[in-house]
Chain A
Amino acid sequence: MGASDFANLPHIGASIRRKEDYRFLTGAGQYTDDITQANQTYAVFVRSPHAHANIKSIDLAKAKAMPGVVEIFTGKDIDGKMGGLPCGWLITSTDGTPMKEPPHPILAIGKARYVGDQVAMVIAETLEQAKNAAEAVEVDYEVLPAVVDVRDASKGTALHEASPDNHCYKWAIGDKGGVDAAFAKAAHITKLDLTNNRLVPNAMEPRAAIGMYNRATEEYTLYVANQNPHVERLLMTAFVLGLPEHKVRVIAPDVGGGFGSKIFLYAEDVALTWAAKQVNRSIKWTCERSESFLTDAHGRDHVSHAEMAMDKDGKFLAMRVHTDANMGAYLSTFASAVPTILYATLLAGQYTCPQIYVEVDAWFTNTAPVDAYRGAGRPEATYLLERLVSRCGWELGLGQDEIRKRNFINSWPYQTPVALQYDVGDYIGCMNKAQGLADVAGFEARKKASAAKGLLRGVGYSSYIEACGIAPSNIAGALGARAGLFECGEVRVHPTGSVTVFTGSHSHGQGHETTFAQVVAARLGIAVESVDIVHGDTGRVPFGMGTYGSRSISVGGAAIMKALDKIETKAKKIAAHLMEASDADVEFSNGEFTVKGTDKKVTFGQVALTAYVPHNYPLDKLEPGLNETAFYDPTNFTFPAGTYICEVEVDPATGKTRVDKFTAVDDFGTIINPMIVEGQVHGGLVQGIGQALLENCVYDRETGQLLTGSFMDYAMPRADDFPEFKIDTICTPCTHNPLGTKGCGEAGAIGSPPAVINAVLDALKGVGVKDFDMPASPSRVWEAIQAAK
């Protein structure tokens, strides 16, 4: 079925209330920490208090004698017995050498490399006993100098033997010679230095896991708060523990938010699985929030320089960018891909910039590993490009809208100079709709009204593009991916016509149990209530890749569509037999099979029953049953895009910046459940505006201590930090998947930060502030105003 037929089916485009809500609203959700095993023990990790230190010795005698202690493991117990945590994407440097991949042991061996690095695992009968014993573990550290800031990395003490200068890779894309030649001819060049601040993902459910082992069957089970249980299992069995994959079951039950931070294989997950066999007991570990701040993979942390070459009319001729990316102390699962494949390839944005050259240096520092966080590379690209484009406009005396309109791509497909080919879009359509909704015509009057109150009002634009549903597998493989990028879907029709779907996508807030049920119900002409979605369990679901990069509907949904195609094909054959017609004459719509030109019909329910009670059935030609599985590997990314317009009011006396209006118009292609899509946009916007106004992960530059290690120090966005957002969509359906969908989970977080900062800069123009980096907290804004005086 094609995307346009699909979009017209019943249930598609309906804001159906979520099937999952009753359990979440009544306290019946089952998150990992809610699950208790018989005879369960508890683990606590002893973590390094130093950012960089040699571990001279560990004395466990006192701790092991503490009440309730079952066992304590350190790096010595695992050294040489298993691999380290793998990185899933190999980046090759410009000189042809592979990136540096230093060992990432699940318990530190000889050295700790960031505050929070796990040094020992204490297992005891109760959590309190484990905590008490952990305090009694005596570690003798030799403290080494720490390096925190990516700009200091090359001068810092080496973290790893494999990288004496802390360099991980130098990667580049684009035609440097062509770009340099274009710059030489430019009428105007705009330059910008900027920092994309480090963030802590802070899903509300802290990470948690339960490791289990059954001696009788030699089977392991890991409950874990995770976004992609099959990937977790594959990495753990094949790369770290060397276990037979069929003997390991990974279950990600209800998961309380992810935002990328639960994609990765973490040391604790492996340690619990391995140790469950050693102690022959189930072991639960639940991360405390302060531990999450220290050890969850962080996001962003780029320092960049960008230049745009233009002709006299403001047409972009070429762009060049250099970025230093902070990897943290070790390479997390997809860390290396974030500032390269997921970042530099997005730097064309929505514009016809014919030449782009991007160079990226990645560095190790004594900080928590940095990896994908809502947007993963695309927010970094968008922040850089959209800040640069607004500055281009200001320098040329053009409005933020005009500079964009002069450079928008307006025909598709469009091949960018940085590898991607956009299939479809309508960038001017988004801009026009956003400008209307934002009442830009009334801005000057509002600015005057603000000025009368002594406040500075500014407007900021951002026209973002993102690439979702990373694909296809073969091209990603050629670019260094060490995993496939398909998704699976199994549609199991039951004899009475209800349906269970098994999907490799994982829902941790996105509402797949509803959206995917709408897709299936629409195709089969049955009630949404007759469809249940199962996910998050390697023991029940075929091998799937999970949820990240806004891929679930476009890749996971497409796999389900393919399985439904197979269901429909087979069901038509059964229906043809029942109606004594030829297969080719059978049509299916609204849950009924009919024969062209006759009044014969059978229902989907009758066909389902016949498939499992095959008394009147073509057994010589057709197997009984109605259960189909499909794997879908996309042929291209999808490209959601939009224009965001932000208005801020700054109080120059205090630096307090308030977002007064925020307008977002997105093109997500086909929308299945508008209510859920709007919710995704709201959440993304608050994470993006949160980065721009509030959030900032800060390490002490000398000691490497995390200074923003709790909700009292790290400013999480709260309800009263925001106005009501105005959001809308346009629709140009994706051309290469059967739903026409593009994905909506990350757009808000990608598009909003530069809109906010451009608005702040617009507001501060009159007081002489020319440059400003996130976050626009009152003290930083006030300091910028004072410095400009």
Chain B
Amino acid sequence: MQVQLKVNGKSATVDVPPNTLLVQVLREHLKLTGTHVGCDTAQCGACTVIKDGRAIKSCNVLAAQVSGSEITTIEGLAKPDGTMHPMQAAFKECHGLQCGYCTTGMVMSAVDLCTHHPKASEGEIRELLEGNICRCTGYQNIVKAVVKGQADMASA
């Protein structure tokens, strides 16, 4: 079946079997491999992307379900000249990543979190990151990064 999407500002039409997941369209058809798959139960959040302004787990939704949507993946977050989004820059500044595997989903969740909870406290940030698992950082610097990214997004 045909699925029409707008991904990172560009229109994309893919012809896929009806059981195809959004993450498969992104990784395998559109070659956007920055969105990762870390589990098979929608628990880890490595595959998080933004659909029509809200974060979703792209491993847990069929491509057909989101036909017509606008999707932003990690590849679409930086400016066209390569300048990082304030949240990406905050993760680098605060050492909020180590192996990088959960990072892309974590950053997308963090952007969503700060867009919809611009005044979240540190404790609330910890709770709101429940859907993203990181095995490397112990979360401390991720939380620091989100606090900084939140401030930088507000002043950007």
Contact = CB atoms under 8 A, between A and B. Distances in A.
- Is B truly associated with A? yes
Interface of A: 15, 17-18, 20-31, 33-34, 128, 202-206, 254-257, 259, 288-290, 508-511, 675-676, 678-679, 681-687, 710-712, 716-720, 722, 724-725, 748
A257 B102 CA distance: 10
Contacts of B125: 719
A353 B129 CA distance: 45
B112 interface: no
B130 A257 contact: no
Contact of A204 (B88, B101, B142): B101
B99 A26 contact: no
Interface string B92-112: 110101111111100100000
B115 interface: no
11 contacts: A18-B92, A22-B92, A25-B104, A128-B17, A203-B101, A203-B135, A204-B38, A204-B134, A678-B95, A679-B137, A725-B138
B88 A256 contact: no
A204 B93 contact: no
Nearest to A374: B135
B14 interface: no
Given A17-B93, A27-B35, A683-B136, 7 more contacts: A26-B75, A27-B32, A29-B100, A509-B98, A679-B137, A719-B125, A719-B139
Nearest to B134: A204
A719 B142 contact: yes
Which residue among A17, A30, A34, A718 has the maximum number of chain B CB atoms within 10 Å of its CB?
Answer: A718
B141 interface: yes
A590 B93 CA distance: 27
Nearest to B93: A17
A681 B139 CA distance: 11
Nearest to A292: B39
Nearest to A28: B34
B140 interface: yes
Given A18-B92, A204-B102, A254-B100, A710 B40 contact: yes
Contacts of B74: 25-27
Nearest to A507: B99
B88 to A, nearest CB: 4
Contact of A682 (B100, B104, B132, B137): B137
B41 interface: yes
Interface string B127-156: 101101111111111110000000000000
Contact of A289 (B40, B75, B103): B40
A257 B32 contact: no
Contacts of B84: 22, 25-26
A676 B137 contact: no
Contact of B46 (A22, A204, A686): A204
B126 interface: yes
A718 B134 CA distance: 8
Nearest to A685: B138
Which 3 pairs, one residue from A and one from B, show the smallest C-beta to C-beta distance? Answer: A27-B34, A256-B101, A24-B100
Contacts of A206: 37-38
Interface SS majority for chain B: loop
Contacts of B17: 128
B36 interface: yes
B135 A682 contact: no
B99 to A, nearest CB: 3
Contact of A510 (B98, B132, B141, B142): B98
A684 B138 contact: yes
B130 A718 contact: yes
Interface size range on B against A: 35 or more
A204 B32 contact: no
Contacts of A681: 138
Interface of B: 17, 27, 32-41, 43-44, 46, 73-75, 77-78, 82, 84, 88, 91-93, 95, 97-104, 107, 122-123, 125-127, 129-130, 132-143
B133 A204 contact: yes
Contact of A27 (B37, B75, B127): B75
Contact of A290 (B40, B93, B95, B143): B40
Given A26-B88, A34-B33, A202-B135, A725 B140 contact: yes
B40 A27 contact: no
A686 B104 contact: no
A288 B59 CA distance: 12
Nearest to A716: B133
Contacts of A23: 100
A202 B132 CA distance: 14
A33 to B, nearest CB: 8
Contacts of A204: 36, 38, 44, 46, 99, 101-102, 133-136
A724 B126 CA distance: 11
Contacts of B39: 289, 710-711
Contacts of B103: 24-25
Contacts of A718: 129-130, 133, 139
A204 B95 CA distance: 18
Nearest to A748: B138
A375 to B, nearest CB: 14
A204 B48 CA distance: 14
B107 to A, nearest CB: 7
A710 B43 CA distance: 9
Contacts of B123: 720
A107 B153 CA distance: 53
A15 to B, nearest CB: 8
A296 to B, nearest CB: 12
A719 B99 CA distance: 17
A608 to B, nearest CB: 30
A290 B74 CA distance: 26
Contact of B129 (A22, A203, A720, A724): A720
A676 B95 contact: yes
Given A26-B34, A27-B33, A204-B102, A509 B88 contact: no
A316 to B, nearest CB: 33
A510 B99 CA distance: 7
B36 A256 contact: yes
Contacts of B36: 31, 204-205, 256
A18 B104 CA distance: 16
A7 B122 CA distance: 36
B29 to A, nearest CB: 12
Nearest to A225: B101
A712 B33 CA distance: 25
A128 B88 CA distance: 35
Which residue among A15, A204, A290, A511 has the maximum number of chain B CB atoms within 10 Å of its CB?
Answer: A204
B130 A720 contact: yes
A25 B88 contact: yes
Given A686-B138, A720-B130, A509 B91 contact: no
Which residue among B37, B39, B91 has the maximum number of chain A CB atoms within 10 Å of its CB?
Answer: B39
A205 B38 contact: yes
Contact of B139 (A255, A290, A686): A686
B106 to A, nearest CB: 10
Contacts of A710: 39-41, 43
A29 B104 CA distance: 10
A17 B96 CA distance: 11
A290 B141 CA distance: 28
B44 A711 contact: yes
B129 to A, nearest CB: 4
A693 B126 CA distance: 18
A511 B100 CA distance: 10
A509 B141 contact: no
Contact of B92 (A25, A289, A508): A25
A15 B139 CA distance: 19
Given A25-B97, A27-B32, A27-B73, A683 B137 contact: yes
Which residue among A676, A686, A710 has the maximum number of chain B CB atoms within 10 Å of its CB?
Answer: A686
Contact of B126 (A256, A257, A720): A720
A685 to B, nearest CB: 6
Given A686-B138, A710-B40, A719-B130, A27 B93 contact: no
A255 B99 contact: yes
Nearest to B91: A25
A498 B15 CA distance: 48
